[in-house]
């Protein structure tokens, strides 16, 4: 009974929210449609798909249709037209006008654009969509700034779209000096260019050529740019003048696909990435991440923070690769964990398939020096490089995952050890946390037997010295070979060198090695 009440309460709350949303949007759209609130409210209820459209986008579409002299009654009678993208509505309207559909330009004509454009000129005239005396060849010639006169036999029986394509071909041949092969490639790969208006295409080419200094060869190599929104191209330099410290024009030359993304979305994405405190140059190394939507970026960052192995890499300068290839990286991480591989680097997780397969086949569980260096730099700031130099002296440092180092660091800080304490004993970050905590517990208890073995007075030890002693005790069990870093007590070292871990000389003038076997010698590294 209680469950039914809870379910009913949730049902009521959802109904109230939906009703409130309907009322808000009804008032908003009614003011732009110049229609009665109750009429619009009923209209939205009959067409719930319209509620899924962003309110701002919906208003832009309504305002554009009103600008194109479409009446409110027409919009209310054909609500499905609003499901089209705004750019689609603009293109359809402009193309119909270019073809001479002016007096008969209604919402019905815009809605049936695809059908009309595939009809013969004669049929359109008979249905009063085109003036009876219209010369379509001359009509299309007038749409170009440069002389465009394709040589073709035509009459009113010709399909309207075929004539448009003939003019398109002639224009592109002249304007871009395309070869027959390049023209065929264009129509094969980007055939939807025929649904762009002549004015749109001319404007895009002019902006790319004169404003962005994109040459003919560059444009032909990236023909998809003909689909770009000219208004978006014009607003880009003002809204996004630089990316990663580089001028927009230079960025576009490096990555032309950026021009296909709305400048507002890029601005929002850059704002999100700025919070990661990445160096300017890193964004330039992964410009494709700017083609993702802001919501996708936020979602993927949220997902990264939920996976410990990824979270530790969020301060890595190349974290953008992890964002871009997050799905692939997550699958690979799970696979490597099944193989008991702990040290997969960011490069491995985001690399191409061949490199990843090679890494798996080699079976070498090693971290990348860059990952470790970046984590240490994030931890120790300006002393990061010095910390890395110390870490490199350990024979097995590259077998310790950066996540383990990060977790050890966090625990030591919670135990009131300072950054200086940890920096002076930075090798302790390489060792399993349970061993460190075990040795610290022994040292803190001031065991007389341990004091006698070490030859030191533990109560006098500072925090820095306690860490040094803990490190000493851990490696003492492994004969100072550096094998104490392994989670399992199995010597897997691939280095013959030994690590020099000593009791701080400040604790005792008489240095003792405790139970260190006499056969083991210390060597500086």
Model confidence over 379-393: pLDDT tens digits?
A: 888 898 898 999 888
- Does the pLDDT value for residue 113 go beyond 90? yes
Distance CA 303, CA 309 (A): 11
Confidence of residue 20 (pLDDT cuts 50, 70, 90): low
Q: Are residues 359 and 372 in the same domain?
A: no
What are the tokens at 458? 């533990």
Stretch 9-35: mean pLDDT, rounded?
Answer: 69
Q: For residue 490, tell me if it sits in a domain.
A: no
Which of 129-143, 237-251, 340-354 has the weakest average pLDDT? 340-354
Stretch 222-231: mean pLDDT, rounded?
Answer: 93
Q: What integer pLDDT is reported at residue 495 of this predicted model? A: 39
What are the tokens at 237? 């330099």
- Helix-, strand-, coil-residue percentages of the chain, each rounded to 5: 65, 0, 35
Angle of helix 294-306 relative to helix 263-274, nearest 10 degrees? 30
Q: For residue 407, tell me if it sits in a domain.
A: yes
Cβ(97)–Cβ(119) under 8 Å?
no
Distance CA 78, CA 91 (A): 18
Residue given tokens 């490069």 in the structure block: 347
Look at residues 331, 366, 401 and tell me which one is the last residue of a structural domain: 366
Q: Are residues 355 and 372 in the same domain?
A: no
Q: Are residues 384 and 425 in the same domain?
A: yes
Look at residues 335, 366, 397 and tell me which one is the last residue of a structural domain: 366
Distance CA 345, CA 343 (A): 6
Backbone angles phi, psi at 243, to 5 degrees: -135, 120
Stretch 95-99: mean pLDDT, rounded?
Answer: 94
- Does the pLDDT value for residue 226 go beyond 90? yes
Helices then strands, each counted (H, E), the chain: 30, 2
Q: For residue 202, tell me if it sits in a domain.
A: no
Cβ(263)–Cβ(232) under 8 Å?
yes
Q: Are residues 310 and 388 in the same domain?
A: no
Q: Are residues 335 and 379 in the same domain?
A: no
Q: For residue 332, tell me if it sits in a domain.
A: yes
Residue 211 has a CB neighbour count (10 Å cut-off) of: 14
Q: Are residues 394 and 465 in the same domain?
A: yes
- Does the pLDDT value for residue 296 go beyond 60? yes
Mean pLDDT estimate for the chain: 83
Q: Are residues 449 and 481 in the same domain?
A: yes
Q: What integer pLDDT is reported at residue 510 of this predicted model? A: 35
Q: Are residues 417 and 453 in the same domain?
A: yes
Q: Are residues 360 and 401 in the same domain?
A: no
Q: Between the ranges 27-36, 260-269, 275-284, 354-363, where is the mean pLDDT highest?
A: 260-269
Does an H or E element contain 246, and which? strand 246-247
Model pLDDT for residues 170-182, shown as the tens digit of each residue: 999 999 998 889 9
- Does the pLDDT value for residue 191 go beyond 70? yes
Confidence of residue 3 (pLDDT cuts 50, 70, 90): low
Q: For residue 467, tell me if it sits in a domain.
A: yes
pLDDT above 90 covers a percentage of the chain that reads 43
Stretch 46-56: mean pLDDT, rounded?
Answer: 90
Q: What integer pLDDT is reported at residue 211 of this predicted model? A: 94
Q: For residue 320, tell me if it sits in a domain.
A: yes
Distance CA 136, CA 150 (A): 13
Q: Are residues 425 and 402 in the same domain?
A: yes
Tell me which of 49 and 448 has the higher pLDDT.
Answer: 49
Cα–Cα distances in Å, from 188 out to 166, 171, 184, 191, 205? 15, 17, 6, 6, 20
Q: Are residues 413 and 428 in the same domain?
A: yes
Q: For residue 520, tell me if it sits in a domain.
A: no
Stretch 82-106: mean pLDDT, rounded?
Answer: 92
Confidence of residue 139 (pLDDT cuts 50, 70, 90): very high
What are the tokens at 371? 């990952």
Confidence of residue 12 (pLDDT cuts 50, 70, 90): very low
Stretch 310-329: mean pLDDT, rounded?
Answer: 80
Cα–Cα distances in Å, from 237 out to 50, 199, 293? 33, 22, 20
Q: What is the DSSP string of 82-145?
A: GGS-HHHHHHHHHHHHHTT--TT--HHHHHTHHHHTTSBHHHHHHTTSS-TT--HHHHHHTT-S
3-state secondary structure of 275: coil
Q: What integer pLDDT is reported at residue 79 of this predicted model? A: 92
Q: For residue 43, tell me if it sits in a domain.
A: no
Tell me which of 122 and 459 has the higher pLDDT.
Answer: 122
Partners of residue 246 on adjacent β-strands: 243
Domain of 394 in residue numbering reads as 368-485
Nearest CA to 63 out of 83, 43, 80, 82 is that of: 82
What are the tokens at 245? 């410290």
3-state secondary structure 59-99: HHHHHHHHHCCCCHHHHHHCHHHHHCCHHHHHHHHHHHHHC
Nearest CA to 343 out of 305, 306, 307, 309 is that of: 309
Cβ(124)–Cβ(160) under 8 Å?
yes
pTM for the whole structure = 0.73
What are the tokens at 98? 């270019």
Q: Are residues 397 and 347 in the same domain?
A: no
Look at residues 366, 387, 403 and tell me which one is the last residue of a structural domain: 366
Q: What integer pLDDT is reported at residue 513 of this predicted model? A: 27
Count structural domains, the chain.
2
């Amino acid at each position: 009974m209680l469950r039914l009440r809870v379910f009913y309460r949730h049902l009521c709350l959802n109904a109230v929210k939906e009703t409130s949303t309907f009322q808000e949007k009804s008032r908003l759209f009614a003011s732009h449609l110049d229609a009665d609130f109750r009429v619009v409210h009923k209209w939205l209820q009959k067409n719930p798909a319209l509620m899924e459209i962003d309110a701002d986008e919906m208003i832009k579409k309504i305002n554009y249709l009103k600008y194109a002299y479409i009446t409110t009654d027409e919009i209310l009678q054909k609500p499905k037209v609003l499901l089209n993208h705004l750019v689609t509505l603009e293109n359809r309207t402009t193309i119909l006008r270019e073809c001479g559909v002016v007096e008969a330009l209604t919402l019905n004509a815009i809605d049936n654009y695809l059908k009309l454009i595939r009809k013969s000129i004669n049929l359109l005239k008979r249905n009063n969509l085109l003036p009876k005396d219209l010369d379509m060849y001359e009509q299309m010639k007038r749409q170009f700034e440069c002389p465009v006169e394709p040589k073709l036999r035509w009459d009113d029986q010709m399909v309207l779209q075929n004539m448009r394509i003939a003019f398109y071909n002639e224009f592109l041949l002249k304007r871009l000096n395309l070869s027959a092969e390049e023209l065929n490639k264009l129509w094969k790969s980007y055939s939807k260019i025929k649904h762009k208006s002549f004015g749109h295409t001319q404007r895009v080419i002019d902006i790319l050529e004169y404003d962005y200094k994109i040459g003919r060869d560059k444009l032909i190599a990236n023909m998809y740019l003909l689909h770009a929104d000219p208004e978006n191209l014009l607003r880009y330099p003002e809204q996004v003048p630089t990316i990663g410290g580089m001028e927009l024009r230079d960025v576009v030359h490096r990555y032309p696909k950026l021009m296909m993304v709305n400048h507002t979305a890029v601005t929002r994405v850059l704002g999100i990435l700025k919070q990661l405190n990445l160096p300017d140059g890193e964004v330039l190394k992964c410009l494709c991440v700017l083609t993702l939507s802001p919501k996708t970026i936020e979602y993927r960052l949220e997902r990264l923070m939920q996976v410990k192995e990824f979270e530790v890499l969020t301060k890595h300068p190349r974290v953008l690769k992890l964002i871009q290839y997050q799905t692939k990286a997550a699958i690979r991480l799970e696979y490597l964990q099944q193989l008991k591989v702990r040290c997969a680097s960011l490069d491995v997780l985001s690399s191409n398939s061949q490199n990843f397969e090679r890494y798996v086949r080699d079976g070498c569980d090693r971290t990348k020096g860059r990952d470790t260096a970046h984590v240490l730099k994030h931890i120790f700031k300006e002393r990061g490089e010095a910390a890395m130099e110390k870490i490199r002296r350990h024979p097995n440092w590259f077998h310790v995952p950066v996540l383990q180092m990060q977790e050890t660091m966090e625990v030591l800080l919670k135990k009131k050890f300072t950054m200086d304490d940890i920096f002076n004993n930075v090798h302790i970050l390489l060792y399993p946390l349970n061993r460190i905590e075990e040795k610290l517990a022994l040292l803190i208890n001031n065991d007389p037997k341990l004091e006698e073995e070490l030859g030191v007075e533990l109560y006098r030890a500072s925090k820095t010295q306690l860490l040094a002693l803990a490190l000493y005790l851990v490696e003492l069990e492994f004969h100072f070979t550096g094998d104490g870093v392994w989670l399992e007590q199995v010597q897997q070292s691939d280095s013959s060198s030994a690590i020099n871990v000593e009791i701080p000389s400040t604790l005792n003038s008489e240095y003792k090695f405790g139970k260190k076997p006499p056969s083991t010698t210390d060597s500086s590294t």
